[in-house]
Amino acid sequence: MAKISVFGAGTWGLGISILLHNNGHSVTVWSAVPAEIEMLRKTKEHKNLPGVKMPEGLCFTDDLEEATREADLMVLSVASVYTRATARRMKPYIKEGQIIVNVAKGIEEGTLATLRDQIAEEIPQADVAVLSGPSHAEEVSRGIPTTCVAGATTQKTAETIQNIFMSPVFRVYTSPDVLGIELGGALKNVIALAAGIADGLGYGDNTKAALITRGMTEIVRLGIAMGAKVETLYGLSGIGDLIVTCASMHSRNRRAGILMGKGYTMEEAMKEVKMVVEGVYSAKAARALAEKYQVTMPIVEQVNQILFEGKPAAQAVEDLMLRDKRIEHPSLPWE
């Protein structure tokens, strides 16, 4: 049995906490919001996980020092916009070599740093790893079979995470390609916004299939330019996560996109969803990375114009459809 601390009491943090508790580990959940901790202690429920009861024995605290004390493993599950600040607060309590697994997804707008790199910058003494894949909290919290990939700089760390998380309902693979795992998880949220916008406009399966396929092309294009491995991007944390996020109503990115397709502004959509919509924060970073690495990402570009420049969603789709003619795979030769 491992002693595990989960930082972040949102739906994903709680879904992971339930999984780890059911695996026989001692789990403490930390939140920066005392009222959230008090609610969880009293009701054993979270409003965004209806019908899910927190198991007895799961501990809750808003005391950061208490949460970090003697933990074998730390799981960082705060929204991406709070990752750096939370890591900075944690630093004084982190011992040399402490394994921290980041399970959030995103890219920092100002620095273009991945979440793993942000944590490593703030807590250089830690061994920072990632866990990602097609894994809605609503399903993990109910024990629905799910598969993810753990990425770390050493095989030993990745296998430690694999052993702790593995269960009959949660299968974990390992990978050394931390960058690829993070890019897949962050960029798919931007494409999921586009898929949701298409749904909100009343378009059909053909449109969504095109957005998923061409969106994946954009993710791979940028990922390879940045040094990620194509195998990772076509794996669980890339195309696997992209499919589930574009197709499911559990996806807050898709739901926000649907609302924007129906005419909501970005701010109105985020308010209606009532949870952090990570794709909104990653969209500007994705555009900046495309410019930095001189990579063409037309879907990402149109999403940015809808989100931040007031472009009508229907016009954005038309502009995508009427782009200059292209060969699908330029590397394939004609006979």
170-205 pLDDT, tens per residue? 999 999 999 999 999 999 999 999 999 999 999 999
Q: Are residues 307 and 273 in the same domain?
A: yes
pLDDT tier at 251 (50, 70, 90 boundaries)? confident
**What total number of domains does the chain contain?**
2
89 lies in some domain:
yes
For residue 20, pLDDT over 90 is answered with yes
| pLDDT reading at 229 higher than 80 | yes
Who's near 102: CB < 8 A, 6+ residues apart?
Answer: 76, 83, 115, 116, 119, 128, 129, 130, 131
The distance of Cα 81 from the centroid of its chain, to the nearest Å, equals 12
Looking at the structure, tell me whether residues 40 and 172 fall in a common domain. yes
Residue 245 lies in a domain: yes
Tell me which residue range forms the domain holding 126: 3-176
- pLDDT at position 321, please? 87
Relative to beta strand 170-175, strand 146-151 is: parallel
Residue 72, pLDDT score: 96
Both 40 and 159 in one domain: the answer is: yes
Is 233 found in the same domain as 109?
no
Output the domain CATH number for residue 226.
1.10.1040.10
Residues 24 and 91 in one domain: yes
Which pLDDT tens digit goes with each residue over 126-156?
999 999 999 999 999 999 999 999 999 999 9
On whether both 160 and 16 belong to a single domain, the answer is: yes
Q: Give the CA angle between residues 62, 63, 64 to the nearest 5°.
A: 110
Asked which of 157, 176, 195 is the last residue of a domain, the reply is: 176
Domain final residue pick, 133, 155, 176:
176
pLDDT value of position 324: 86
Output the pLDDT for position 325.
86
Residues 310, 205 within the same domain: yes
DSSP string for residues in 218-276: HHHHHHHHHT--HHHHTSIIIIIHHHHHHH-TT-HHHHHHHHHHTT--HHHHHHHH-S-
Catalytic residue positions, numbered: 188
Q: Are the C-beta atoms of residues 129 and 196 closer than 8 Å to each other?
A: no
Find the helix or strand (DSSP H, E) in which 62 lies: none
Residues 202 and 62 in one domain: no
Tell me whether residue 332 is in a domain: no
Residue that is last in its domain, among 146, 176, 206: 176
119 plus 142 within the same structural domain: yes
For residue 267, pLDDT over 90 is answered with no
Does 129 fall in a domain?
Answer: yes
Q: What is the pLDDT of residue 132?
A: 98
**Rounded to an integer, what is the distance from CA 178 to the centroid of its chain?**
13
Asked if the structure places residue 228 within a domain, the reply is yes
Answer whether residue 271 shows pLDDT above 90.
Answer: no
Q: Are residues 280 and 237 in the same domain?
A: yes
Predicted pLDDT of residue 100 = 98
pLDDT at 194: 94
Which of the 8 DSSP states describes residue 48? Answer: T
Provide the pLDDT for residue 265: 87
127 with 54, same domain?
A: yes
Residue 276: other Cβ atoms inside 10 A: 18
Instruction: Please tell me the pTM assigned to this model.
Output: 0.94
Count of alpha carbons within 13 angstroms of residue 288, beta-carbon side: 12
pLDDT at 279 over 80: yes
Higher pLDDT, 177 or 317: 177
The residues pairing with 149 across neighbouring beta strands, listed in sequence order, are: 132, 173
Q: Which residue type sits at 73?
A: L
> What percent of the chain is predicted at pLDDT more than 70?
100
What mean pLDDT is reported for the chain?
94
pLDDT at 216: 96
What is residue 266's predicted lDDT score, i.e. its pLDDT?
85
Q: Residue 313 falls within a domain, yes or no?
A: yes
CATH number at residue 162: 3.40.50.720
What does the alpha-carbon distance between residue 114 and residue 232 come to, in Å, rounded to a whole number? 16
In a domain? residue 248: yes
Same domain as 210, residue 118 = no
**Any domain includes 326:** no
